[in-house]
Amino acid sequence: MFLFKKNKGITQEELQATVEGLEQAYMDKDEQGLIKRFHPDKRGMSFLNHFQLMLTFQIYNIKSEILKFELLSVDANKAVFTYTRKHMHTCVNPADEREEKRNQINSYYVEAVKENGSIWITRYSSYSTIYVDKQGELLMGVDAVIPPGEEIDPSIARFIPYFQLDSYVPATFHVYSNSQFIGYYPLGEYHRYQPSCTFTINYFDEMEAASVEKHTADYVSQKTIVAAQVLHQTDCSSIVETQIMNNNVLEHELVTSLLTKDGFYMVRFLYDKGLLVNMTL
C-alpha cells in the first residue's frame, strides 16, 4: 500500500516568510539570498541586476521594514499578493551622507508558485512609491512622488496647489514620452493595489483627437464603460460621469478633460461603489 502526501498548497505564512527572507537578504547584502527566492526562469529581471546591487550594497546600509501584506488570490500552486516595505538608507561612509532623496516606501505586486515544496517568485512589480525623509516621515506634496533626477513639468505643477485633498497623499508619479501622471490616494490606502478611491491628474503635450468633443465621444464609447453621461461640454473642456464594472463591482468615475494653450489634461476622480468622497477643489 502506497501513501501519497497531500499537497497542502500555498499558505499565507509561507508567502510572508518569503518576502521577509527577501528583505532580510537585502539588508544583509546577500545577493544569492535574493536570487534564490526567484524562479530560475525569472532571474534575469532588472531588480536582480548584479552591478546595480553591488553598487547599492557598496554605498549604503539599508534598513527594511514591512508595513503591509495583502493576499489577493491563492490556489494549490499559485498565489498573488502585495506587500509594502519602507527602505531607509545610510551611507557606509558617513562622510558621503547627502540630502539626496533615496528613502522610500514601495508597494509590490507579486506572483509566486509552489514547485517541489519550494516557493518561487515569478513576478515582482512596483506599483506605488512614496519618498520619505531621514526620519521616515512622508515628504510633503509632490516631493513625496517625484523620483530623484526627475522634474515635474511646469504645466502640471501649476495646477497642483489648487487641489487641497484632505486625508489624501500623492503616491504615484509617472513620466511617459508625452505626458506626466500624478495619483492621489486615501492616506491609509496608498499601499493597496486597488484603493477605494483615486484622484489623478494626467498631463499630455497635446490631445490626440481632433477636438475635445471628438475626444469625449471616443472616451465614452470604450467597451469597458457600462454607462456614461456627458455633464458638461465646450470647445475646450468636458465633464463626463461614467460607470465601470470592475471585478463585479460597479464603480463611478468623474472625468474632466481640459484643453489649454500649453497642453491637454485629464483629471479623474474614481469613487468607490458610487459613494462620493468629500474633497475641496
pLDDT tens for the 281 residues of the chain, in order:
444 455 578 999 999 999 999 999 999 999 999 999 999 999 998 889 999 999 999 999 999 999 999 999 999 899 999 999 999 999 999 988 888 889 999 999 999 999 988 999 999 999 999 999 999 999 988 889 998 888 888 888 888 887 777 888 888 899 888 899 999 999 889 899 888 889 999 999 999 999 999 999 999 998 888 889 999 999 999 999 998 877 677 788 999 999 999 899 999 999 865 554 443 33
What's the longest Cα–Cα distance across the chain? 81
Least Cα distance to 256 among 227, 222, 226, 216 occurs for 216
Locus of grid cell 536570487: 35
Nearest 5°: phi and psi at 237? Answer: -155, 160
Grid coordinates representing 236?
A: 475646450
> Which H/E stretch holds residue 154?
helix 154-157
Contact in structure between 244 and 228 (CB atoms under 8 Å):
no
Which three cell numbers, joined as nine digits, stand for 21? Answer: 527572507
96 vs 242: CA distance, rounded Å: 52
Measure Cα distances from 68 to 63, 82, 192, 231 in Å: 16, 8, 9, 39
Instruction: Measure the CA–CA gap between 133 and 145, rounded to whole angstroms.
Output: 12
> SS3 for 221?
coil
Q: What is the dihedral of CA 146, 265, 125, 142, to 10 degrees?
A: 20
**Residue 272 CB neighbour total at 10 angstroms:** 16
Pick from 185, 152, 148: which is nearest to 269 by CA?
A: 185
